[in-house]
Amino acid sequence: MHTKWIDDLLAVAETKNFSRAADQRCITQSALSRRIRSLEEWVGVELVDRSTYPVQLTRAGRTFCEQGKEALALFMELRSDLRRGDRMPGRSLQVVAGHTLAMTFVPKWLVNHRQQQPALNARVLSANVHDAVIALAEGHCDLMLGYSHPQAPIFLDPDKFVGLRLGHDALVPICSPDRSGQPLHALPGSAEAPLPYLAYTATSLLGRVTDLILRNAATPAALERCHEADMAMHLAKMVHGGYGVAWLPESAVADELANGTLVRAGDQRWSTELEIHAFRRIGNSNPALLELWRSLELPHS
CATH code, domain carrying 77: 1.10.10.10
Cα separations (Å) of 56 from 13, 77, 279? 7, 29, 31
Please determine, for residue 268, whether its predicted confidence score (pLDDT) is greater than 90: yes
Q: What value does the mean pLDDT take over residues 263-287? A: 94
Expressed as residue numbers, the domain containing 126 is 91-166+275-297
Among the ranges given (84-98, 103-117, 215-229, 264-278), the one the predictor scored with the smallest mean pLDDT = 84-98
Q: Give 123-171 pLDDT, tens digit per residue.
A: 899 988 878 888 888 788 899 999 999 988 887 888 889 999 999 999 9
- Structural domains counted in the chain: 3
Q: What CATH number does the domain containing 135 carry?
A: 3.40.190.10
Domain boundary residue, one of 84, 109, 131:
84
The closest alpha carbon to 5, from 68, 76, 53, belongs to: 68
The closest alpha carbon to 145, from 214, 202, 201, 95, belongs to: 95
Please determine, for residue 210, whether its predicted confidence score (pLDDT) is greater than 50: yes
How far apart, in whole angstroms, are the C-alpha atoms of residue 180 and residue 132? 42
User: pLDDT at position 87, please?
Assistant: 56
Backbone angles phi, psi at 178, to 5 degrees: -85, -170
The closest alpha carbon to 223, from 194, 251, 246, belongs to: 194
Q: Do 253 and 184 fall within a single domain?
A: yes
Q: Do 38 and 115 fall within a single domain?
A: no
User: pLDDT at position 76, please?
Assistant: 64
The DSSP bridge pattern shows strands 272-281 and 143-148 to be antiparallel
Q: Do 74 and 54 fall within a single domain?
A: yes
Q: Do 132 and 279 fall within a single domain?
A: yes
Q: Do 157 and 279 fall within a single domain?
A: yes
Q: Do 156 and 187 fall within a single domain?
A: no
Q: Do 112 and 256 fall within a single domain?
A: no
End-to-end alpha carbon distance in the chain? 43
User: pLDDT at position 133, please?
Assistant: 85
Q: Do 146 and 281 fall within a single domain?
A: yes
Q: Give 99-108 pLDDT, tens digit per residue.
A: 999 999 999 9
Domain boundary residue, one of 54, 84, 114:
84
Q: Do 233 and 263 fall within a single domain?
A: yes
Domain boundary residue, one of 36, 55, 84:
84
Q: Do 240 and 251 fall within a single domain?
A: yes
Please determine, for residue 23, whether its predicted confidence score (pLDDT) is greater than 70: yes
How far apart, in whole angstroms, are the C-alpha atoms of residue 244 and residue 265? 10
Q: Do 146 and 234 fall within a single domain?
A: no
Q: Do 175 and 255 fall within a single domain?
A: yes
pLDDT, the chain, mean: 88
